[in-house]
């Protein structure tokens, strides 16, 4: 996995953040198991609740194009190490029990986790089998 490239893409995506209300910009870039990259930014709304996080934008773009297995996802926010919200952790779980989650400030300042570190004892598709 080219971590630097993925972090760069997430930083680029953050520039496209539509966040006039919170003014908190977030970008994400994910790598699918087949090597494709999808990016996303947070997109807010005047009615507030229709807003979506950067991670879910990227994931929904990938899934809607037919890519449902996520190997890694990078998140870059406006705080020092922006961690994914609980809803996004659960959405990542749906498409990758072993997904690597990289919380980055820059290409050479990041922390790397496994999904299970950030969402232990999770509920997922296998539970419904
Ligand atoms: N946000 C994300 O996009 N991802 C996160 O991991 C944390 C929060 C967005 C949602 C909202 O647009 C703004 O950041 C402030 O919460």
pTM: 0.97
The structure tokens listed for 117 are 């570190």
What is the per-residue pLDDT for 47?
98
Indicate if ligand 1 lies below 6 Å from the C-beta of 18: no
Position 65 confidence tier, pLDDT thresholds 50, 70, 90: very high
Atom of ligand 1 nearest to the CA of 84: 6
Atom of ligand 1 nearest to the CA of 82: 6
61: number of Cβ within 10 Å: 15
Quickly name the fold that domain 3-128 has: Cytidine Deaminase; domain 2 (3.40.140)
Per-residue model confidence as pLDDT tens digits over 73-124: 999 999 999 999 999 999 999 999 999 999 999 999 999 999 999 999 999 9
- Find the Cα–Cα–Cα–Cα dihedral 6, 11, 13, 16, rounded to 10°: -170
Tell me the mean pLDDT in the region 12-35: 98
Q: Whose CA is nearest to atom 9 of ligand 1?
A: 53
User: What are the sequence ranges of the domains in the chain?
Assistant: 3-128
What is the per-residue pLDDT for 95?
98
Indicate if ligand 1 lies below 6 Å from the C-beta of 53: yes
DSSP codes of every residue in 35-98:
S-EEEEE-B--TTSTT-B-HHHHHHHHHHHTT---EEEEEEE-SSSS-PPPHHHHHHHHHT-TT
Query: Does the annotation mark 55 as catalytic?
Result: yes
């Amino acid at each position: 996995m080219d971590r630097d490239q993925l972090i760069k893409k997430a930083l680029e995506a953050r520039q496209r953040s539509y966040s006039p209300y919170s003014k908190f910009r977030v970008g994400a870039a994910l790598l699918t198991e087949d090597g494709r990259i999808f990016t996303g930014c947070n997109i807010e709304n005047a009615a507030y609740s229709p807003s979506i996080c950067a991670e879910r934008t990227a994931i929904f773009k990938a899934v809607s194009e037919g890519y449902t297995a996520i190997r890694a996802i990078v998140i870059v926010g406006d705080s020092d190490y922006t961690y994914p919200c609980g809803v996004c952790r659960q959405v990542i779980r749906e498409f990758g029990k072993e997904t690597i989650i990289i919380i980055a400030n820059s290409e050479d300042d990041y922390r790397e986790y496994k999904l299970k570190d950030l969402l232990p004892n999770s509920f997922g598709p296998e539970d419904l089998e």
